[in-house]
Every structure is written in structure tokens, then in C-alpha cells.
Amino acid sequence: MEEPGNYIFAAPDSAGEWFALYIGQSSDLGDRLSNHEKEEYAIKNGATHIHAHINSRGEQARLDEEEDLIKHHLPLCNKRL
């Protein structure tokens, strides 16, 4: 998938709601997600899915979305901003 966007390594909680373990962005989701350095850590912490959002509005828009999502969800595997 050669698409720019934001992504979340996610896991369901006991009620079936999704929670974020890692949030990121890339100009090429396929390339970035094919060998991600946080994937193993996220899986060890329960990640079962990757949620992706195509965002072709440019790098700054992706960075802004990433920052907003991290601040809102406080994912375990991200460094704190």
C-alpha cells in the first residue's frame, strides 16, 4: 500500500472496545508497516490489529494528527511528547 497516512497498533479490551498501543504516521504505510521497530513490542502488549487512516494532506497534517491521537490516547508504546 503506497499511501500516506496515520496508523495505530491496537488491541481490544475485555468489553470489545479498541485501545491504542502505538500511534504513528508515514508517507508510505506499506513500507513503514512492513518491518516496524515497535511491532514486536506492541504485539507483546496485546496488539492484534493495525488501524490505518489514509491522509494525503501532507506531512504536517499527518504529524498533527499523530500528535493529537497520542495526546488523546496515551499509547503505551509511544514515547511521551
DSSP, residue by residue, 40-57: HHHHHTT--EEEEEE--S
CA separation, residue 67 to residues 12, 32, 34 (Å)? 22, 18, 22
d(Cα 26, Cα 33) in Å, to the nearest integer? 9
State pTM to two decimals. 0.92
Residue that has been written with the C-alpha cell 488501524 in this structure: 51
Q: Render pLDDT for 52-81 as a digit per residue (tens, 0 to 9).
A: 999 999 999 999 999 999 999 999 999 865
Q: Render pLDDT for 5-52 as a digit per residue (tens, 0 to 9).
A: 999 999 999 999 999 999 999 999 999 999 999 999 999 999 999 999
